[in-house]
Amino acid sequence: MTAAPAFHHLPVLGPRSVDLLDPRDGGLYVDGTVGGGGHTRLILERCDDCRVLAVDRDPEALEAAARNLEAFAPRVRFLSMRFDGVTDDPEVRDRGIEGALLDLGVSSHQIDVDARGFTFREGAPLDMRMTPEGETAADFLNDRSLDELQDVFRRYGEERRARALAREVVRRREERPFATSDDLVAAVMRVLGPRTEHQDKARIFQAVRIAINGELEALERALPALRDALTAGGVLVVIAYHSLEDRIVKHAFREWSRACICPPELPVCACRGVALGTVLTRKPERPSADEVESNPRARSALLRAWRKAA
């Protein structure tokens, strides 16, 4: 096991995210995945009198962010919750927000600390939970049905041999319960072959993580809730690291930016008849080569932004 490093947060596409949010004095902004506080710091440094609701479901992240943002304490309020719940906060309900940022996925700290179980390094526990409660990755692999396993490997891991992998998991757990990363890696290599590449293992581990944390469901709930909470001209920025996440964001932003969402066969418009806002990013923006070189985990980041109509 590796020793737990200090919680750090390199804000992926940080300056560009904040440029799009364009924080203004008097504004209230949501960092829905505060991590170590990197994006929140950039927002607060951009204006003298704006405030941020710093949200995270990971207690370690919130503790680290509070330390890292101590100098901005009067202008930050920390909320221990998943980002799809922030719009229930009384302040958000009463006054709205001028902008929101979601940096999806997991932080470098979560990956680097073996005990958190997000890695497939040798001997790491199969945990992968964002919070200390709930179903672990080991629970998922040991308890879910063959069909459920297949569905997760196919939908979230986009694995064409999902059925064979699910069968292999069921076969192995009958001999010995899954407990560590080695167990899942062995099942993957048995099905995909001994020369299975790093990214293939990562796909399967990521699929399990997405499933046990309900990540896509949370995103689907959060997007329209944050849209409705935005004040006129407010901006929503989302950084995704998985094709399924990015697809959800792309489709939502595209639909909100259309004046008519009626089925094409309907002769007369019967829907809202007006666009709710405008897409600010014609296509997903990616980190520069320099950023990827300094932070390799940024390489798969896809940024999209949308502005609510004034």
Last residue of a domain, one of 213, 231, 248: 213
* Domain extent for 241: 14-103+215-308
Query: 220 and 72, same structural domain?
Result: yes
Query: 148 and 201, same structural domain?
Result: yes
Query: 19 and 158, same structural domain?
Result: no
pLDDT at 1: 39
Range 224-243 burial, b when 16+ CB lie within 10 A, else e: ebbbebbeeebbbbbbbbbe
Q: Is-contact 76 44, C-beta < 8 A? A: yes
Query: 146 and 94, same structural domain?
Result: no
34 located within any domain: yes
Known binding residue 39? Answer is yes
Known binding residue 83? Answer is yes
pLDDT, one tens digit for every residue, the chain (310 residues):
344 445 556 799 999 999 999 999 999 999 999 999 999 999 999 999 999 999 999 998 899 999 999 999 999 999 999 999 999 999 999 999 999 999 997 655 555 555 565 676 888 999 999 888 889 999 999 999 999 999 999 999 999 999 999 999 999 999 999 999 999 999 999 999 988 888 999 899 999 999 999 999 999 999 999 999 999 999 999 999 999 999 999 999 999 999 877 777 767 776 777 899 999 999 999 999 999 999 888 899 999 999 999 9
Q: How many domains does the chain have?
A: 2
Known binding residue 206? Answer is no
Known binding residue 8? Answer is no
pTM more than 0.75 = yes
CATH number at residue 244: 3.40.50.150
d(CA 8, CA 38): 8
Query: 300 and 221, same structural domain?
Result: yes
CA 135 to chain centre: 18
Last residue of a domain, one of 173, 195, 213: 213
9 located within any domain: no
241 located within any domain: yes
Last residue of a domain, one of 213, 235, 262: 213
pLDDT at 2: 41
**Residue 22 exposed, middle or buried by CB count within 10 Å (0-12, 13-18, 19+):** middle
Query: 219 and 98, same structural domain?
Result: yes
pLDDT at 287: 96
Residues 6+ apart with CB under 8 A from 194: none
Which tokens is 152 given? 């997760």
Query: 27 and 71, same structural domain?
Result: yes
Query: 172 and 125, same structural domain?
Result: yes
Query: 70 and 38, same structural domain?
Result: yes
Nearest 5 degrees, angle CA 247-CA 155-CA 121? 100
Query: 239 and 173, same structural domain?
Result: no
Known binding residue 38? Answer is yes
Known binding residue 193? Answer is no
Query: 149 and 87, same structural domain?
Result: no
Known binding residue 105? Answer is no
